[in-house]
């Protein structure tokens, strides 16, 4: 290949895509079987906006993830950061991403961004991110997320016709979510599918102030932005109390200007879609920079 290999157009992108495909989690099936208790995460939980008290009350899943002892762990192969599949005592399996094992993140803050993404998902009732908590395991601080047993990554699903598809609406939900959290890292290895249901994972690079996540919306021109997300955005932005709670929670996980970045993008969303919640070119382009009032 020689020294110019790296400069061939599209080569790097191809290699990245290849690496992501490789990513498909490589664990011996017997290990999964052993560590897996019946899957408990499937309840549709109400949004925190509708039930503000749930900001401080943990769900059943969150309690299990926070408290149950880790009885076994195994490092997954082919991941950029250190990713462990852990077995919790009497509580199935989970994905642990310790801060110390982060390489491709912003100063080891990826685990906090994982938790923040789950919080935003819960707050808006987006319902795509598996329950995620901040957790210390064997002296290491990190994020612990419910492992979705038997899910396929987006890439694998495309290659496997038998694997059931998710709905287009779920996909649009995920794209709007990515805009809110400014996520630039939604390759086919960072969403997974099981039983016609989509799950969004890997948010360690989200919440930067630079706006990402608009371009994928161009695939959905003419489609509607999920109304419930817009209604909740309006509720949040028009209530000082909700804004206070929301920003206080986010501040636990990120810098102040990143928190205000989230608020700015929510303001953009509402401004673009509150009259006519339909995706078009002009509106999507409008989302690319923060609105100045």
Ligand X SMILES: Nc1ncnc2c1ncn2[C@@H]1O[C@H](COP(=O)(O)OP(=O)(O)OP(=O)(O)O)[C@@H](O)[C@H]1O
Chain residues that interact with Mg ion, rule: CB under 5 A? 189-190, 202
173 binds, among Mg ion, ligand X, none (CB under 5 to 8 A by kind): none
Q: How far is CA 5 from CA 13, 179, 229, in A?
A: 12, 34, 45
153 binds, among Mg ion, ligand X, none (CB under 5 to 8 A by kind): ligand X
Name the minimum Å distance from CB 90 to Mg ion. 28
Name the minimum Å distance from CB 156 to ligand X. 9
Name the minimum Å distance from CB 153 to ligand X. 5
From 45-53, 197-205, 207-215, 256-264, span contacting ligand X (CB under 6 A): 197-205
* 238-247: long-range pairs with CB below 8 Å, 24+: 242/49, 242/52, 245/52, 245/55, 246/123
Q: Is 153 one of the binding residues for ligand X (CB under 6 A)? A: yes
Name the minimum Å distance from CB 185 to Mg ion. 7
Which residues, 97 to 116, sit near ligand X by CB under 6 A?
104
Question: Distance of alpha carbon 174 from its chain centroid, rounded?
Answer: 8
Name the minimum Å distance from CB 201 to Mg ion. 7
Coil vs helix vs strand at 93: strand
Backbone angles phi, psi at 289, to 5 degrees: -135, 155
Coil vs helix vs strand at 8: coil
Q: How far is CA 37 from CA 1, 32, 34, 100, 147, in A?
A: 48, 10, 8, 28, 11
Which residues, 10 to 69, sit near ligand X by CB under 6 A?
23-25
Those residues whose C-beta lies under 8 Å from the C-beta of residue 267, and which sit 6 or more positions away, are: 237, 291
Sheet holding 191-194, edge to edge: 152-153, 191-194, 197-200
- Nearest residue (beta carbon) to Mg ion: 202
Measure the CA–CA gap between 258 and 290, rounded to whole angstroms: 12
Which residues, 201 to 260, sit near ligand X by CB under 6 A?
201-202, 204
CB nearer to ligand X: give 79 or 183: 79
CB nearer to Mg ion: give 114 or 170: 114
Token representation of residue 251? 């501040």
Residue identified by tokens 């489609």 is 223
CB nearer to ligand X: give 32 or 263: 32
Backbone angles phi, psi at 232, to 5 degrees: -70, -35
Name the minimum Å distance from CB 215 to ligand X. 19
Instruction: Please pick, from the candidates 87, 145, 182, 183, the single residue that binds ligand X as defined by CB under 6 A.
Output: 145
Token representation of residue 130? 């598996």
Measure the CA–CA gap between 37 and 239, rounded to whole angstroms: 41
226 binds, among Mg ion, ligand X, none (CB under 5 to 8 A by kind): none
Instruction: Please pick, from the candidates 96, 119, 147, 253, the single residue that binds ligand X as defined by CB under 6 A.
Output: 147
Instruction: Please pick, from the candidates 35, 64, 81, 269, the single residue that binds ligand X as defined by CB under 6 A.
Output: 81
83 binds, among ligand X, Mg ion, none (CB under 5 to 8 A by kind): ligand X
Q: Site residues (CB under 6 A) for ligand X?
A: 23-25, 76, 79-81, 83, 95, 104, 130, 145-148, 151, 153, 189-190, 192, 201-202, 204
């Amino acid at each position: 290949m020689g020294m110019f290999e790296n400069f061939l157009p599209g080569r790097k992108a191809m290699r990245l895509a290849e690496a992501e495909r490789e990513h498909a989690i490589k664990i011996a099936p017997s290990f999964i079987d052993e560590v897996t208790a019946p899957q408990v995460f499937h309840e549709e939980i109400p949004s925190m906006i509708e039930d503000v008290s749930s900001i401080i009350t943990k769900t059943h899943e969150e309690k299990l993830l926070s408290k149950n002892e880790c009885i076994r762990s195994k490092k997954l192969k082919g991941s950029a950061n250190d990713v462990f599949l852990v077995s919790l005592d009497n509580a199935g399996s989970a994905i642990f991403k310790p801060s110390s094992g982060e390489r491709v993140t912003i100063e080891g803050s990826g685990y906090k961004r994982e938790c923040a993404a789950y919080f935003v998902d819960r707050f808006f009732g987006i319902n795509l991110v598996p329950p995620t908590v901040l957790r210390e395991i064997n002296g290491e601080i990190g994020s612990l997320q419910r492992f979705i047993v038997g899910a396929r990554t987006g890439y694998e699903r495309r290659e496997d016709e038998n694997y059931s598809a998710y709905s287009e609406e779920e996909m649009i939900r995920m794209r709007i979510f990515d805009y809110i959290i400014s996520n630039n890292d939604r390759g086919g290895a960072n969403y997974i599918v099981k039983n016609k249901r989509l799950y969004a994972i890997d948010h360690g690079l989200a919440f930067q102030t630079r706006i990402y996540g608009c371009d994928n919306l161009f695939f959905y021109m003419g489609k509607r932005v999920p109304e419930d997300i817009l209604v909740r955005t309006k509720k949040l932005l028009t209530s000082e109390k909700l804004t206070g709670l929301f920003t206080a929670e986010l501040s636990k996980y990120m810098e102040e200007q990143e928190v205000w970045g989230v608020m700015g993008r929510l303001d953009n969303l509402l401004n673009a879609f509150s009259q006519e919640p339909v995706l078009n070119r002009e509106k999507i382009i409008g989302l690319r920079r923060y609105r100045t009032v």
